[in-house]
Structure 1
Amino acid sequence: MRPHKPVLRGALPVLAPAAVAVAAWAAWLGWDQRYDVRPDGSVSGPYEGWQVGGLVLTLLIAVAWATARGHSAAAVAGTSAGLALAAFVDWSGDGDGLFMVGVALVAVAAFVCSAVVSAVTDTLRGDAPPVR
């Protein structure tokens, strides 16, 4: 009889990238909630380009690392779910209800980008299935 793996240990490959994504969102974007008013009266923000770039670079490294350890699907799913959760929590106070459009866009973009990073990492490692 096979011993049962603890449920948490089986879920760890998905939970770890999700936790990294939530923590990275908090570190890079979560603290900046202020919109900037330019001298011409236009408004930008609340995030600066360097903050988003830092988040992307952090997650690129995390997805590549998880994929290099054989957890491609978990890296993609966990990162996408973690970013969607972080965006939902961060933006849910928006009164107009359009925040869900942004959350959906974040989830789709995270899925596509992390899938590309995972595929490139697998290809560089030589683990990618042959293209037919």
Structure 2
Amino acid sequence: MANRLPHRTPERLPEAVATLILALTSAALWAAWLGWDQHRDVHPDGSTTGPYGAWQVIGLVLTLLAPLYWAAARRHVTGAVLGITAGLTAAAYLDWSDDASGLYMIGVIMVALGSAAATALTTLAIASLRRPAPAARPV
């Protein structure tokens, strides 16, 4: 008798694999939205802004919703929070670590804390909405 392995569906994906997929996806989305813009904008009055525009950060957040939903709908709550937070934190560290002042670590910590909180709340909301209704019990 042949030993048959059970068929793995995306719903049965291990949590560690989901975490890794989300970390890599988050880092790639950071690179796509924010990684290419490295220069501050100097205004006529001498003030500077940037390097990122609001539209870039909003685009990053909106495109992160798709992989977040993918994980939350499959009940990979821990993987979603850890994966997205790790991916964004690593990307921020790599992107900002050439700052000579050393203040980049404050920004990296803020990215880590903010992305963990936002991802946790959004993931829990999505996972709770996707719960099947309990079966009606006969009276």
Same-fold call, TM > 0.5? yes
Corresponding residue number in structure 2 for 1:92:
97
Larger radius of gyration: 2
Q: What stretches of structure 1 move > 2 A for 4+ residues in a row? A: none
How many pairs does the alignment contain? 120
Corresponding residue number in structure 1 for 2:123:
118
C-alpha distance in 1 between matches for 2:116 and 2:66:
15
Corresponding residue number in structure 2 for 1:80:
85
1:22 and 1:85 in contact (8 A); partners too = yes
Shift in Å, 1:60: 2.1
Corresponding residue number in structure 2 for 1:101:
106
Shift in Å, 1:126: 2.2
CA gap of 1:47–1:86, structure 2 versus 1, over 3 A, is: same
Q: Secondary structure at the match of 2:98?
A: coil
Corresponding residue number in structure 1 for 2:57:
52
Corresponding residue number in structure 1 for 2:33:
28
C-alpha distance in 2 between matches for 1:90 and 1:65:
27
Corresponding residue number in structure 1 for 2:135:
none
**Which has more helix, going by share of residues?**
1
Cα RMSD between the aligned structures? Answer: 1.5
C-alpha distance in 2 between matches for 1:11 and 1:60:
19
Shift in Å, 1:11: 2.5
Unaligned runs of 5+ in 1: 4-8, 128-132
TM-score under structure 2 length normalisation: 0.82
Shift in Å, 1:69: 1.5
1:60 and 1:114 in contact (8 A); partners too = no
Shift in Å, 1:121: 0.2
The residue type paired with residue 24 of structure 2 is: A
